[in-house]
Chains A and B, each alone.
Chain A
Amino acid sequence: SQKIEQNSEALNIQEGKTATLTCNYTNYSPAYLQWYRQDPGRGPVFLLLIRENEKEKRKERLKVTFDTTLKQSLFHITASQPADSATYLCALGGNQGGKLIFGQGTELSVKP
């Protein structure tokens, strides 16, 4: 069955450092992968989308890589800030209409 694994442990980093979050998947060939941010008590908010034929995508301090051979995506936040503290979800999609399959999320905490 399809499986998505994100960093199981919460990630604690110091302000100004780069946060790197991992998303691994099995038994799936997604057409695209998305990253969402979720704050406590709120719904997920879309951040970035990367397609299967793209290796890297950037948006301001965010960078996503996608390796379809390794079946892995890495999500980087450079020059991290306490305001970046949240849970980050990866989601795979594109092969079943608009259906997204989400990972369990990684909680990021950026300390000042």
Chain B
Amino acid sequence: EAGVVQSPRYKIIEKKQPVAFWCNPISGHNTLYWYRQNLGQGPELLIRYENEEAVDDSQLPKDRFSAERLKGVDSTLKIQPAELGDSAVYLCASSTPGQETQYFGPGTRLLVL
């Protein structure tokens, strides 16, 4: 079984530029999560989807961050414009309904210069 796929693995941009991350969850996993992990910290939830519906986006900075999961499968997280403080690892995870275990992708490491 293929795991959670994320791309790109690394991204370096200048501040004020836009950036997008893509995630393809494990097949059959209806729940998709986007996390941000700062250096030396644990992951922090940004948004959670159940199929195509965002059921928890309370921690998403909506002035510059947006996300979509149009067909309830893969998802895109966008930042526009990026700020220096957005440098972090962006992790995607997925799970099936009622399953507490989350399966994480390798993450996208973002560096904003």
Which residues in A have some Cβ–Cβ distance to B below 8 Å?
4, 32, 34, 41-46, 49, 89, 91, 93-94, 96-105
8 Å CB contact of A98 from B31, B40, B105: B31
Give the B interface residue count (CB, 8 A).
24
State how many angstroms separate the Cβ of B107 from the closest Cβ of chain A.
5
Tell me whether A43 and B101 are in contact (CB under 8 A): no
CB-based contact B55/A46 at 8 Å: no
Q: Are A102 and B31 interface neighbours, CB within 8 A? A: no
Most central of A32, A91, A98 by chain B CB within 10 Å: A98
A43 near B104 with CB under 8 A, answer: yes
- Of B42, B55, B91, B107, the residue contacting A105 (CB under 8 A) is B42
Known contacts A42-B106, A43-B93, A43-B106; is A99 also within 8 Å of B45 by CB? yes
Given A99-B48, A102-B42, check contact A41 B106 (CB 8 Å): yes
